[in-house]
Structure 1
């Protein structure tokens, strides 16, 4: 067990790590592969960090499961179990004691570079509808894939009644920047992110699904009040555009505001306040710089009024992935704060809001657990993390008196 003092959770500066990259191996995973036996072992709730003395409170970190291969998304079932995706193409049911059961019935998934099985969320009225929503990279040819949104229902250890809701158009060859986070809104519609797929320019092409946030009804149809439904030059499903690779999106339960973050290139990661119809600038406006030269990719967002500026930007890159707003009871001092997972520097960033302004940030667990891929507030009021590694894990933050 380890103890972390306050000085260890201050913001760490240094050279940015390469953000969000998976392996280059490609594989197509079928439903038969998804039902294969898993050798994932449970840690039975082992305390791995016994005391973190943060600015507001003390907490410990418990590991619930390990040996998960690049876990990407987590959702909480009403019976206390969790659904956890593994990027190579497996969806698991994880019990409170950490035992892992792979589920069968997934569609064909191509795990290529950053692609695979990605986010998973439940319908807000899951107990009545039974719908589970997930995103994945769908093979459309030898090297071509799409970000695809689907839903299914769970019967025992199998997915049934599978429905494909949306397929990115047009498909793209680079196996990166899939976006793929989903969040339901108060009106029953949902937003889903699609990255620029590593091609930049499509993010400003309003007929291309790359680099956008989509807004869809629960059945995958397009809401009649979407911002561009009366504009023939824009895809009706688009809610906002000009995004690079958004891998975190939430609706704040107190204010109703929508927050999303996205990866920049070399620097210029962004936290954005999302509003219907906005253009967030990528690649024409960004604080990021080219990977192969110390040159700006576009103009600084504060030097143009053509696009919406980020609320904050991170340079060097923290490589944000996963976004939660804390609304539980276990950590009252953190009520309403945002929590950002970070792949670079292997940390969690706590973001304090005053209305729509960021007033403070605190770095937690830097270089302690691994690359943080997802962060969620659980129904028990604890904070849950996934670490993106070939032997990744599920972790829970619990208060210490």
Structure 2
């Protein structure tokens, strides 16, 4: 049973659009991708390092290495000083994100699966980065979500325009955690850049609640991006058999897992209701599941017809997914690169406006998305 009733979510749930039936997706073969780097071991996240000479990019590999791409070339030596990770199941090294003022403070943030008593949990820390070395690494957040089930870590991190740090934590494969605000499982976290809790977080002052929680009722959020106009975080998350979702992440909202879901048990039966008062409906959902991953809003000029749209990778259905929105209402879905048959783990928009992808494989790739012909 939740230690915090969904009253705040019930008050705010009307701010979230009511979900429609899934949109019938279109396929578009006009988009291609150019391979820039090969030989990556299950890459997870891509970061563009501001102010670095020679155009340096960093790529995390789930097994625990942080790789450098300098002037378009993958270097043999990994970054030193990266914390030890639990590389088991879905666990390992996750997101890598420079601080908004990285050029001044050199602070690089990393999320990862951290060993805990009896298993692993999601953790985030930072160190000072320069020239392939990460120094003075320290954790700023360790989720109260320790378990030996090596799955559903979440692990995406994002800074908003006010400098707050958002962190996704999955339900760890134990769905009841998502409705229990006495722990961090199945939630989105909002903290200051040093890990302290902002005074206006929605559960501050609630007896027994984890005050770092911003929203809850999530299953396994794998994409996180900042809306270019509203400045609000949006996420995508994995459902079970169906019921993957896109949500706008708002304070104090209960997004319903597992009380409401459009997915079924892997062995067939329903899990919960599709709708219930007090629980937010997704903006968009997928049935069957595509297993959405890294996510961006397109803001550059390389793909003018995509501007403002949500672009995500798809792991299970192996494509690049674009959903167009009118405000918070989805108006269309298009799928690209299906002919490649590659699991797309991360999607980032580079400083040059191009979209870059990471493919999840033992011989993973860094790809550049070429604009539609």
Normalised by the length of structure 2, the TM-score is: 0.89
Matched, 1:108 2:84: yes
Equivalence for 2:263: 288
Displacement of 1:124 in angstroms is 1.1
- Structure 2 SS opposite 1:201: helix
Equivalence for 1:391: 363
Give the Cα–Cα distance (whole angstroms) in 1 for the partners of residues 193 and 42 of structure 2: 28
Q: Pick from 74, 81, 90: which aligns with 1:99?
A: 74
Give the Cα–Cα distance (whole angstroms) in 2 for the partners of residues 234 and 288 of structure 1: 28
Give the Cα–Cα distance (whole angstroms) in 2 for the partners of residues 98 and 319 of structure 1: 30
Give the Cα–Cα distance (whole angstroms) in 1 for the partners of residues 344 and 148 of structure 2: 27
Give the Cα–Cα distance (whole angstroms) in 1 for the partners of residues 263 and 367 of structure 2: 31
Equivalence for 2:310: 338
Give the Cα–Cα distance (whole angstroms) in 2 for the partners of residues 98 and 242 of structure 1: 41
Equivalence for 1:117: 93
Equivalence for 2:272: 298
Q: Pick from 166, 178, 182: which aligns with 1:207?
A: 182
Give the Cα–Cα distance (whole angstroms) in 1 for the partners of residues 273 and 372 of structure 2: 46
Moved more, 180-189 or 360-369: 360-369
Equivalence for 2:49: 77
Give the Cα–Cα distance (whole angstroms) in 1 for the partners of residues 82 and 201 of structure 2: 30
Partner deviation per Cα, 1:300-338 (whole Å, 9 max, x = no partner): 12xx11200001110100000111011112222211111
Aligned pairs, how many? 346
- Give unmatched runs, 5+ long, in structure 1: 1-9, 13-51
- Structure 2 SS opposite 1:228: coil
Give the Cα–Cα distance (whole angstroms) in 1 for the partners of residues 103 and 341 of structure 2: 33
Q: Pick from 86, 105, 114: which aligns with 1:138?
A: 114
Displacement of 1:81 in angstroms is 1.3
Equivalence for 1:3: none
RMSD over aligned CA atoms reads 1.6
Give the Cα–Cα distance (whole angstroms) in 2 for the partners of residues 375 and 367 of structure 1: 18
- Give unmatched runs, 5+ long, in structure 2: 1-24
Displacement of 1:369 in angstroms is 5.1
Give the Cα–Cα distance (whole angstroms) in 2 for the partners of residues 137 and 223 of structure 1: 24
Partner deviation per Cα, 1:313-366 (whole Å, 9 max, x = no partner): 101000001110111122222111110110011001111111111111100111
> Could you say which structure has the greater relative contact order, defined with CA pairs below 8 angstroms and 6 or more residues apart?
2
Displacement of 1:170 in angstroms is 4.0
Give the Cα–Cα distance (whole angstroms) in 1 for the partners of residues 289 and 29 of structure 2: 25
Displacement of 1:231 in angstroms is 1.2
- Structure 1 SS opposite 2:86: strand
Equivalence for 2:326: 354
Normalised by the length of structure 1, the TM-score is: 0.83
Partner deviation per Cα, 1:92-124 (whole Å, 9 max, x = no partner): 111232322411111121100000001111111
Matched, 1:377 2:349: yes
- Report if aligned partners of 2:347, 2:355 keep a CA contact under 8 Å in 1: yes
Displacement of 1:11 in angstroms is 4.4
- Structure 2 SS opposite 1:333: helix
Equivalence for 1:67: 39
Q: Structure 1 residues 159 and 305, CA, compared in 2 at 3 Å: closer, same or farther? A: same
Q: Pick from 203, 220, 240: which aligns with 1:245?
A: 220
- Structure 2 SS opposite 1:112: coil
